[in-house]
Structure 1
Amino acid sequence: MSAGNSAMLQERYGRAPRRLSRRGWIWLGSVLIVLAIVALAWFAAAQPMASVQAKTTTSAIDEHGNATVRFTLNVAPGAATRCAVDARGEGQSQVGWKYVDVPAADVQSRTIEVTVKTVQPAMAGSVDSCWIV
């Protein structure tokens, strides 16, 4: 094909599409990666989080100063949880704590009773927090 024919074809049909340069491919790849990360974050945040609620119902102190804490745990059936239970002494200082693993069950609401050993006599005990494991 001669240069004259090439010029005539370009004039009639337009130029051939330009290929993307290396810099263009890098920019395109970067944009796609950022969009993928944003999409993953969006989908992860959109997932419904299982709700865990724990409320101390009673606490009692035995003759050794240890705290027995009874609390109600509300969690979706089939979800195993772990709870942090603590005992407080004078001045609300923490004198004992314990992690309690609660196995999955078929019911949503349960009453759990835990004895927390203390290093000093306790004044009260409570469930601090619970989470799904």
Structure 2
Amino acid sequence: MTTQDMLDDRYGRTRSPRRRWAIGAGIAVAAVVVGFLAWTTAQNAANAVDVDTTGFEVVDDHSVNLRFQFTAPVGRPVACAIEAQDEEHGVVGWRVVELPASDEHTRAVSETIPTTAPATTGFVNSCWVT
């Protein structure tokens, strides 16, 4: 063994088969992780529900009529949590509305929320695919 070979071996300037295998395994693990993250992002986007409150009407001291529209995947049932609040932002009524699957991508809905006290607003808290 020459002096140059001993120096290269001492300071790690040569690549051993074990080191090449470790680098290859690291690249493979990174590729699997990136693939998994891409797949879960695509799945979450495919099941996303976008909702907008289009209006509300306080009918009386015990009910609010809420109008909203949502965009959801075609052929999938959707559930929405709707809510009524008083002037101090306290929840005075809420319910979960289950909407059947439809061939339409965007739908408009009108629902009544029973309240325990006079409400000043109504809105959709959230929607999700069931």
How does the TM-score come out when normalised to structure 2?
0.67
Instruction: List aligned pairs for 1:41-56, cutoff 5 A.
Output: 43-47=39-43, 49-50=45-46, 51-56=48-53
Q: Structure 2 CA distance, aligned partners of 1:112 and 1:66?
A: 16
Measured in 1, the distance between the counterparts of 2:78 and 2:49 equals 8
Q: Which residue identity does 2:116 align to in structure 1?
A: V
- Summarize deviations over 1:19-47 as a string: whole Å, max 9, x none: xxxxxxxxxxxxxxxxx899766644453
Among candidates 49, 57, 60, match of residue 57 of structure 2 = 60
Alignment of 1:20-99 (within 5 A): 43-47=39-43, 49-50=45-46, 51-99=48-96
The Cα offsets for residues 76-104 of structure 1, whole Å up to 9 and x where unpaired, read as 21111100000010211111101000111
Provide the C-alpha distance between the structure 2 equivalents of 1:63 and 1:42, rounded to a whole number of angstroms.
Answer: 49
Query: How many residues are paired up?
Result: 115
Is there any run of 5+ residues in structure 1 with no aligned partner, and where? 1-35
Structure index of larger Rg: 1
Q: Structure 2: 5+ residue runs without aligned partners?
A: 1-31
Q: Between the two proteins, what is the percent identity of the paired residues?
A: 32
Q: Which position in structure 1 is the counterpart of 2:101?
A: 104
How far does the alpha carbon of each residue in 1:99-132 deviate from its partner, in whole angstroms, 9 at most, with x for none? 0001110011111111111111111100111000
Kindly indicate whether the alpha-carbon contact (under 8 Å) linking 2:70 and 2:108 is maintained by their aligned counterparts in 1. Answer: yes
Deviation at 1:65, TM superposition (A): 3.4
* Contact kept in structure 1, 2:63 and 2:115, CA below 8 Å: yes
Runs of 4 or more, structure 1, over 6 Å off, are 36-39
